């Protein structure tokens, strides 16, 4: 049988480290072309609708920024976790809690207006996200509970909590029974960056600032070094006096706060009120963004824009070709698969071993020796 054999490289390949996201993207395009062909659509025209048309006008670039902002914000936080080998996969829940806690001001005190409102909301959003992320961190450090499962379970709880709030105590009494809160007043709305050309708001700036700050943290500061050491070798980290439990809290609180900031930015920016569903799975897609960006904050910005485009493209093919917008999810999933597969090339060379393995020609040589 044909099989793969991995041969360890003496050191990581810088070439493939840079190339692998692009190879992965190319493979995704090829697989996507096959998928479109199977669906009976001309792949070329489908790709034009999917990848080109959604960003061919200025206002559409604004939409791209709106989708990319939460993805980048969440993903830079997650990259710190994953670098430290800590698996927070509940960012979706922290995003929702950030949205809820930040919305307390405009929903509960709609008369409160002025320049203080927005900063307070953003702060509360970060606190909400961080507090929700603190639960799996606490359970992991105190009881050794697996953080993957607890952080994920809390996503479902957060979704149901939001659903209850907007259908119950926080529902707009003048909302004709619709499950939503009051429209936020003007001082609780995240301003648009360039209102003349499109809807993009300050959330995108937050994302860029966060990416730069996390980049500085990871590459220029001791804390970033600590993260990397503990992630690659917890034993070495212990000898250096780095505390694993403190790191778990640091990573969870940081990523939770950023996810919470993303949540309140989305609610006060793109939506303007709370609804039963405030995220098309940003918290999960951000996991893909983090890996596609090589867990590097600056790479994550680029990856966030790519994944934002898959959302817009999904909507575009749905309206133009009548294909389910779930196609976006498929593209995102395939992309992550190929990225992870290509990452193998960084550390290993791949050898294909064919059906006819070369036989050891020992016998004739032995005879010669005689």
Partner 1 sequence: MDITVNILLTIATAATPLLIAAIGELVVERSGVLNLGVEGMMIMGAVGGFGAGYLTGSPWIGLLAAIALGALFSLLFAVMTLSLATNQVATGLSLTLLGLGLSGMMGTSFVGQPGQRLPNLDIPGLTSLPVVGRLLFGQDPIFYISIALTAAVMWFLFKTRTGLTLRSIGDSHTSAHALGIHVIRYRYLAVIFGGACAGLAGGHLSLVYTPQWVENMTAGRGWIALALVVFASWRPWRVLAGAYIFGAVWIGQLHAQAFGIPVPSQLLSSLPYLATVVVLVLISRNKRLTMMNTPASLGQPFVPDR
Least CB distance to partner 1 at residue 235 (A): 15
Least CB distance to partner 1 at residue 144 (A): 5
Q: Which CB, 8 or 359, lies closer to partner 1?
A: 8
Q: Which CB, 43 or 203, lies closer to partner 1?
A: 43
Q: Which of 76, 81, 126, 328 binds partner 1 (CB under 8 A)?
A: 328
Cα angle for residues 190, 203, 81 (degrees, 5° grid): 135
Number of residues that bind partner 1 (CB under 8 A): 51
Q: Which CB, 29 or 328, lies closer to partner 1?
A: 328
Return the closest-CA partner of residue 78 out of 356, 307, 354: 307
Q: Which CB, 1 or 14, lies closer to partner 1?
A: 1
Return the closest-CA partner of residue 289 out of 312, 269, 268, 306: 306
Per CB under 8 A, does 160 bind partner 1? yes
Q: Which H or E run includes 352?
A: strand 348-353
Q: Which CB, 130 or 154, lies closer to partner 1?
A: 154
Least CB distance to partner 1 at residue 78 (A): 11
Find out whether 301 and 293 touch, Cβ atoms under 8 Å: yes
Quote the CA–CA distance of 98 and 122 in Å, as a whole number: 8
Instruction: Please classify residue 60 by burial: count the beta carbons closer than 10 Å to its beta carbon, then call 0-12 exposed, 13-18 middle and 19+ buried.
Output: middle
Return the closest-CA partner of residue 193 out of 66, 346, 302: 66
Per CB under 8 A, does 340 bind partner 1? yes
Least CB distance to partner 1 at residue 115 (A): 35
Find out whether 190 and 202 touch, Cβ atoms under 8 Å: yes
Q: Residue 239: helix, strand or coil by DSSP?
A: helix
Contact string (CB under 8 A) for partner 1, positions 7-36, x = contact: -x----------------------------
Quote the CA–CA distance of 122 and 126 in Å, as a whole number: 6
**Within positions 241 to 300, which residues make up the interface with partner 1, using CB under 8 A?**
284-285, 287-288, 291
Contact string (CB under 8 A) for partner 1, positions 162-181, x = contact: -xx--xx-------------
Per CB under 8 A, does 40 bind partner 1? no
Per CB under 8 A, does 194 bind partner 1? no
Q: Residue 115: helix, strand or coil by DSSP?
A: coil
Least CB distance to partner 1 at residue 155 (A): 8
Return the closest-CA partner of residue 132 out of 1, 5, 319, 258: 258
Find out whether 283 and 92 touch, Cβ atoms under 8 Å: yes
Find out whether 303 and 293 touch, Cβ atoms under 8 Å: yes
Q: Which of 12, 220, 246, 326 binds partner 1 (CB under 8 A)?
A: 326
Q: Which spans of this chain sit near partner 1 (rule: CB under 8 A)? A: 3-6, 8, 82, 87, 89, 139, 143-146, 148-150, 152-154, 156-157, 160-161, 163-164, 167-168, 284-285, 287-288, 291, 323-324, 326-334, 336-337, 340-341, 343-344, 348, 350
């Amino acid at each position: 049988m044909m099989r793969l054999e991995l041969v360890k490289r003496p050191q990581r390949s810088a070439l493939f480290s840079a190339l692998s996201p692009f190879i992965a993207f190319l493979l995704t395009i090829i697989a996507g072309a096959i998928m479109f062909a199977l669906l009976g659509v001309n792949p070329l025209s489908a790709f034009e609708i999917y990848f080109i048309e959604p960003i061919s006008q200025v206002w559409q670039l604004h939409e791209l920024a709106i989708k990319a902002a939460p993805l980048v914000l969440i993903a830079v936080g997650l990259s710190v976790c994953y670098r430290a080998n800590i698996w927070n996969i509940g960012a979706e829940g922290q995003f929702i809690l950030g949205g809820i806690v930040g919305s307390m001001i405009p929903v509960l005190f709609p008369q409160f207006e002025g320049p203080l409102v927005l900063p307070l909301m953003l702060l509360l959003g970060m606190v909400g996200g961080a507090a929700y992320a603190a639960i799996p961190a606490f359970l992991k450090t105190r009881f050794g509970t697996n953080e993957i499962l607890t952080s994920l379970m809390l996503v479902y709880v957060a979704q149901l909590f939001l659903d209850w709030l907007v259908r119950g105590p926080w529902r707009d009494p003048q909302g004709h029974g619709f499950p939503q809160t009051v429209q936020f007043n003007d001082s609780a709305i995240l301003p648009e960056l360039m209102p003349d050309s499109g809807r993009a708001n300050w959330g995108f700036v937050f994302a860029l600032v966060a990416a730069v700050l996390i980049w500085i943290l990871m590459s220029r500061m001791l804390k970033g070094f600590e993260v990397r050491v503990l992630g690659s070798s917890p034993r070495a980290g212990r000898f250096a006096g780095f505390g694993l439990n403190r790191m778990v809290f640091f990573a969870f609180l940081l990523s939770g706060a950023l996810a919470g900031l993303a949540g309140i930015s989305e609610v006060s920016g793109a939506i303007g009120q709370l609804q039963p569903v405030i995220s098309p799975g940003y918290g999960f897609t951000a996991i893909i963004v983090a890996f596609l960006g090589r867990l590097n904050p600056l790479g994550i910005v680029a990856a966030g824009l790519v994944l934002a485009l898959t959302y817009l493209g999904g909507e575009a093919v749905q309206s133009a070709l009548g294909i389910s917008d779930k196609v976006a999810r498929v593209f995102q999933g395939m992309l992550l698969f190929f990225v992870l597969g290509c990452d193998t090339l960084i550390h290993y060379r791949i050898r294909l071993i064919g059906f006819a393995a070369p036989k050891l020609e020992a016998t004739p040589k032995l005879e010669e020796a005689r």
